Amino acid sequence: MSWLLLWLLTAAGLQQAYSLNSTATPPSTAITWPTAEPYNRTRYCKWPCECPIAPPKCPPGVSLLMDGCDCCKTCARQVGEVCNEADTCDYHKGLYCDYSSDKPRYEKGVCAYMVGTGCEHDGVIYRNGQSFKPNCKYQCVCVNGAIGCVALCTESQPPRVWCQSPRRVKVRGQCCEQWICDETKRGRKTAPRRAVEAFSAQTKSWHKNCISQTTSWSPCSKSCGRGLSMRISNANEQCEMIKESRLCNLRPCEVDITKHIKPGKKCLNIYREDLPSNLTISGCTSRKSYRPKYCGVCTDERCCIPYKSKTIDVEFQCPNRSGFTWKMLWIQACFCNLSCKNPNDIFAELESYYGYPEVTD
């Protein structure tokens, strides 16, 4: 009996203790989290687009691109500069906008290089997208293994077309050469006649409040086959400086001119086909047949370039009976010298004129 009574008392005590504990426990409170402040994302693009009348002038080597809003032309951001959805990085240089340092918003970034192939020039290695100046005349950039350059010496203009012997001279203390008219060279016999004609033409232009200005034709864009030659002139009714172009063909690519060099000689100044033929362009044929002169070649280090030439108008007729007219370089004389372009010189194509002047009619 004693053990049964002890068990009952113990069980009653435990139940009373459980009841007291259950009633003493305070009600559980709900967990409240701090409310996040609302975040307004910065809008860098605004519509409708508002663009300046004239696009900005970017420094040499900086690309002029459409902004990230697809609204206006803008100068691309360079390496290390801040970028966003509107101000894009210069992808021509292999740059992209790195937003990793602006977590978690990812609004502003920094232009950084993408992984790409570097460039080597004159024993120096340049990173992909890196800008550099090999000398004071050119600004270059490495773009995935290729080097692109722009000329910095563009202010000096060649003399007027009546100058028979224009040449460039170095000026002490300056990087860029300057054009002068050297009247001591040959060709002075025709200078007075040309000067009178040019003066007469300019006099007429002065009466129209327009001074005629025309640059020399640029070298042909191709060393063989059909190319283009350019010049700038305001000799038009509007007196506006416009770019003019003409067809040119220094020599045919499919003919081995070296076979026509006479025995014992190393150069052939002029090459000419035996029979006249019609010229063709884009499926259209010239109305007349022509037997043009071409500049020849040399077997040594010399090269042959036009010395005397003129510009003619060639009329073309197409199969659908439509037609058009193209200006064309008509070579009259060539000479061969050592002023050849080095095939390994990446700046050769940036030169605007030959080392020797070309006499034009």
Which CATH number covers residue 240?
2.10.90
**Residue 352, domain member (yes or no):** no
**Residue from 215, 213, 244 nearest 229 by CA:** 244
Judge contact between 253 and 297, C-beta under 8 A.
Answer: no
Q: Are residues 171 and 141 in the same domain?
A: no
Q: Are residues 175 and 230 in the same domain?
A: no
Confidence at 340, pLDDT banded by 50, 70, 90: low
Domain that holds residue 170: 158-183
Q: pLDDT digit string (tens) for 13-58? A: 544 444 444 444 455 455 555 555 556 778 888 888 889 888 899 8
What's 106's domain CATH number?
4.10.40.20
Q: pLDDT digit string (tens) for 100-141? A: 888 877 888 999 877 767 788 888 888 877 888 888 888 888
What pLDDT score does 205 carry?
42
Separation CA 34–CA 145 (nearest Å): 54
What pLDDT score does 240 carry?
76
Is residue 4 over pLDDT 70? no
| Sign of the C-alpha dihedral computed for residues 175, 179, 184 and 186 taken in this order | positive
Query: What burial class does residue 353 get, using C-beta atoms within 10 Å of its C-beta: 0-12 exposed, 13-18 middle, 19+ buried?
Result: middle
Say which residue, 337 or 134, is predicted with more confidence: 134
Q: Are residues 85 and 171 in the same domain?
A: no
Judge contact between 304 and 336, C-beta under 8 A.
Answer: yes
Q: Are residues 310 and 230 in the same domain?
A: yes
Average pLDDT over residues 178-205: 52
Beta bridge partners of residue 119, listed in sequence order: 126
Q: Are residues 315 and 245 in the same domain?
A: yes
Q: Are residues 81 and 139 in the same domain?
A: no
pTM summary value: 0.42
Q: Are residues 246 and 295 in the same domain?
A: yes
Q: Are residues 135 and 55 in the same domain?
A: no
- Residue 258 tokens read as 């070296």
What pLDDT score does 192 carry?
46
Q: Are residues 291 and 232 in the same domain?
A: yes
